[in-house]
Chains A and B, each alone.
Chain A
Amino acid sequence: MDISQILANGIVLGALYACIAVGFSLVWGVLNVINMLHGSFIILGGYLTYFAWFYLGVHPVIALAPVALLLYLLGFLVQYVFINKVVTAPVLTTLTLTFGLDMILYNLMTVYFTATPRRVTLDIGSVDIAGVVMPGDRLIGMGLALLLTALLYLVMRGSSIGRAIVAVRMDRQAAALMGIRVNRIYAITFGIGALMAGAAGAVFAMVFPVTTNLTGSFLGKAFVICVIGGLGSVPGALVGGITLGIVESFAGYLLGPQHAITIGFLLMLILLVVRPTGLVGVKGYE
Chain B
Amino acid sequence: MFTRSWKFAVAGAAVLGAASALTAPAAQAEDGVLKIGAPLALTGGLADEGKKQQAVWSLWLDKINAQGGVEVGGKKLKVEFVEYDYQTDGKRAGQLAEKLVTDDEVDVIMAPFGSGHTKIIAAVAERYQVPMLACVASSVSVYDQGFKYLFGTLAPNTGMTESMVGYFKEKFPAVKKVAVYGRDDVFPKSMATALADSAASGGLEVVYNELYAVGTMDHSAAISAIKAANPDWVYMTGYTQDLILGRKQMADLGITAPVITMVTGPAYREFTEGLGDLADGVTSSTWWHHATAYTDTSGAWNSTAAFYKDFVAAYGSDPDYVHASCAAAADVLVDAVQRAGSTDKQAVRDALAATDMATFYGPIDFGDNGMNQGREMPIIQVQGDEIKVLYPAAIADADLKLID
Chain A residues with CB under 8 Å of chain B are 1, 5-6, 9, 12-13, 107, 110-111, 114-119, 121, 123, 126, 133, 135, 137-138, 208-209, 211, 213-214, 216-217, 220-221, 248-253, 256-262
Contact = CB atoms under 8 A, between A and B. Distances in A.
Contacts of B248: 119, 123
B254 A118 contact: no
B397 interface: no
Given A9-B220, A119-B274, A213 B45 contact: yes
A116 B270 contact: yes
Given A209-B245, A217-B217, A5 B270 contact: no
Interface of B: 43-45, 47-48, 51, 181, 184, 210-213, 215-222, 224-225, 228, 239-241, 244-245, 248-249, 251-254, 270, 273-278
Given A118-B270, A119-B275, A121-B276, A257 B222 contact: yes
A252 B226 CA distance: 12
Contacts of A214: 217, 241
A260 B51 CA distance: 33
Contacts of A111: 43
20 contacts: A1-B224, A1-B228, A5-B224, A110-B47, A114-B51, A117-B244, A118-B270, A121-B276, A121-B277, A126-B252, A126-B254, A211-B241, A213-B241, A253-B224, A256-B211, A257-B212, A258-B210, A258-B211, A260-B212, A260-B213
Contacts of A135: 249, 252-253
Query: Chain A: interface secondary structure?
Result: helix
Query: Chain B: interface secondary structure?
Result: helix
A221 B51 CA distance: 29
Most buried by A among B212, B216, B241, B275: B241
Contact of B251 (A6, A123, A249, A260): A123
Contacts of B249: 135
Contacts of B275: 119, 121
A1 B47 contact: no
Contacts of B210: 256-258
Contacts of B213: 257-262
Contacts of B45: 115, 213
Given A13-B218, A123-B248, A257-B219, A6 B241 contact: no
A221 B224 contact: no
A13 B270 contact: no
Nearest first, the 3 A-B pairs at minimum CB distance are A252-B221, A135-B252, A121-B276
Given A9-B220, A208-B217, 9 more contacts: A12-B220, A121-B276, A133-B252, A133-B254, A208-B245, A209-B245, A214-B217, A257-B210, A258-B213
Contacts of B225: 1, 253
Contact of B241 (A110, A117, A133): A117
Contacts of A249: 218, 220-221
A261 B47 contact: no
A123 B218 contact: no
A217 to B, nearest CB: 5
Contacts of A133: 252-254
A118 B273 contact: yes
A261 B220 contact: no
Contacts of B273: 118
A248 B240 contact: no
Contacts of B224: 1, 5-6, 9, 253
Most buried by B among A116, A213, A217, A257: A257
Contacts of A116: 48, 240, 270
Contacts of B270: 116-118
A220 B222 CA distance: 21
Contacts of B217: 208, 214, 217, 221
A177 B239 CA distance: 54
Contacts of A261: 213, 215-216
A115 B184 CA distance: 21
Nearest to A103: B43
Nearest to B228: A1
B240 A117 contact: yes
A114 B48 contact: yes
Contacts of B221: 6, 9, 248-253, 257, 260
Nearest to A122: B276
Nearest to B219: A257
B232 to A, nearest CB: 19
Contacts of B47: 110, 114-115
A138 B252 contact: yes
Contacts of A213: 45, 239, 241
B300 to A, nearest CB: 26
Contacts of A118: 270, 273-274
A263 B44 CA distance: 27
Nearest to A250: B221
B204 to A, nearest CB: 21
Contacts of A250: 221
